[in-house]
């Protein structure tokens, strides 16, 4: 995607990117330094920036809300999940069983980490994503067309969680507790999704769709020029299922009927795909000028370690002459590798079969 931002002949983008990365202080470091103009490498193309920030549909649509209250009829919950997944690829969850205390402490833990003293925080700064816990700013800093106004920590929590000493003390206990709760909720959602697809409740779990879990703790500092950048560029997720906890500030948007719709904060949000039957929704986060925004994204995904790669393909029970395969077979390694170059586009597009 070519940028429409004019570039001065003496502008050395690579040097600026390297200096930013070498500082290890992230976007928050700019804010702490009192920056009033954002660096050029955060500027996004005018064609994207000038898009309407919210939809004219906003007052006409309601983002699906799934109530998991145990007293509700199971068949009705399954039907609501099917409708939301097919038509939105996204829904919010209430009465999910995770105590409010845990949600609040997870937000506080993420905030606490990102607002630690820089000297302490930079000990965790790394672009080695094989580590159990690391912190960075912009996973695609050196490959994307424009950086986004956010910092992130990442923790791999399943199937092989980190040792306690690998996690920062300020959020160690709550990441562990939150991950345990998310895994339980994730398996419940996999059952509901399986039934929504007309499969047995344990089908998706048996395929290993919830074996792996990693947690991203996003921090979106106040931006002096939010009209020039994003907190997160539009994208789809590479995991099987994503559950997002956001604070009360808002800023998350999903693309629905080719228009951006604001997602008012609720405890959880879900993104999923299966052979084009369920949508994988594009979403983004707006940069804001007021106060820091916190969100915690939990990604459930397959996990495999071994010599022979596991091949993933459309679920055979969902394929027929009337509903042929839409995507080709792939391995998890290949899928993740392709995602690294998929910013601003659908990560599934390279795997789509010709009609």
Per-residue pLDDT tens digits for 55-83: 555 545 678 889 998 777 999 999 999 99
Q: Which residue has the tokens 């986060």?
A: 285
User: Which secondary-structure segment (H or E) carries 260?
Assistant: strand 259-262
Domains of the chain: 60-303 (2.60.120.330), 310-354 (no CATH)
Per-residue pLDDT, 260: 86
User: Which secondary-structure segment (H or E) carries 179?
Assistant: helix 172-196
- Alpha carbon separation from 198 to 89, 247, 289, 315, 348 (Å, rounded): 17, 35, 46, 11, 23
Retrieve residue 329's tokens. 């077979």
Per-residue pLDDT, 342: 53
Give dist(CA 172, CA 165) in Å, integer.
Answer: 8
For the stretch 350-353, contacts whose Cβ atoms lie closer than 8 Å and that sit 24 or more positions apart, written own/partner, are 351/327, 352/326, 352/327, 352/328, 353/325, 353/326, 353/327, 353/328
pLDDT in tens, 254-293: 888 888 888 878 655 443 533 345 666 777 899 999 899 9
pTM above 0.75, yes or no: yes
Retrieve residue 108's tokens. 């506080």
Per-residue pLDDT, 276: 45
Give dist(CA 108, CA 94) in Å, integer.
Answer: 20
Give dist(CA 271, CA 213) in Å, integer.
Answer: 14
pLDDT in tens, 206-227: 988 889 999 999 999 999 999 9
């Amino acid at each position: 995607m070519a940028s429409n931002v004019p570039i001065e002949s003496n502008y050395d983008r690579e040097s600026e990117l390297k200096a930013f990365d070498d500082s290890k202080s992230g976007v928050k470091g700019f804010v702490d330094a009192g920056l009033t103009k954002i660096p050029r490498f955060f500027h996004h193309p005018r064609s994207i920036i000038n898009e309407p920030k919210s939809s004219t549909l906003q007052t006409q649509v309601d983002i699906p809300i799934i109530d998991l209250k145990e007293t509700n009829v199971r068949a009705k919950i399954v039907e609501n999940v099917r409708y939301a997944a097919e038509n939105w690829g996204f829904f919010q969850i209430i009465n999910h069983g995770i105590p409010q205390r845990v949600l609040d402490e997870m937000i506080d833990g993420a905030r606490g980490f990102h607002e630690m003293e820089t000297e302490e925080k930079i000990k965790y700064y790394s672009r080695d994503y094989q580590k159990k816990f690391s912190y960075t700013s912009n996973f695609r800093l050196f490959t994307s067309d424009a950086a986004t106004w956010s910092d992130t920590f990442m923790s791999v929590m399943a199937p092989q969680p980190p040792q306690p000493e690998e996690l920062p003390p300020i959020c160690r206990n709550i990441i562990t507790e939150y991950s345990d709760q998310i895994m339980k909720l994730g398996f419940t959602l996999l059952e509901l999704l399986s039934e929504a697809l007309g499969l047995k409740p344990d089908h998706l779990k048996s395929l290993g769709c919830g074996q792996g879990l990693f947690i991203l703790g996003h921090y979106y500092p106040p931006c002096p020029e939010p009209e020039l950048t994003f907190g997160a560029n539009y994208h789809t997720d590479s995991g099987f299922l994503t559950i997002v906890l956001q604070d009360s500030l808002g800023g998350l948007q999903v693309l629905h009927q080719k228009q951006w719709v604001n997602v008012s904060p609720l405890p959880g949000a879900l993104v999923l795909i299966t052979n084009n039957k369920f949508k994988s929704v594009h979403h983004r986060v707006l940069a804001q000028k007021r106060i820091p925004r916190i969100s915690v994204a939990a990604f459930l995904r397959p996990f495999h370690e071994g010599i022979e790669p596991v091949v993933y393909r459309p679920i055979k029970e969902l394929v027929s002459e009337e509903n042929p395969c839409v995507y080709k077979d792939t391995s998890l390694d290949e899928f993740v590798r392709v995602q690294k170059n998929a910013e601003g586009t659908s990560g599934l597009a390279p795997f789509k079969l010709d009609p």
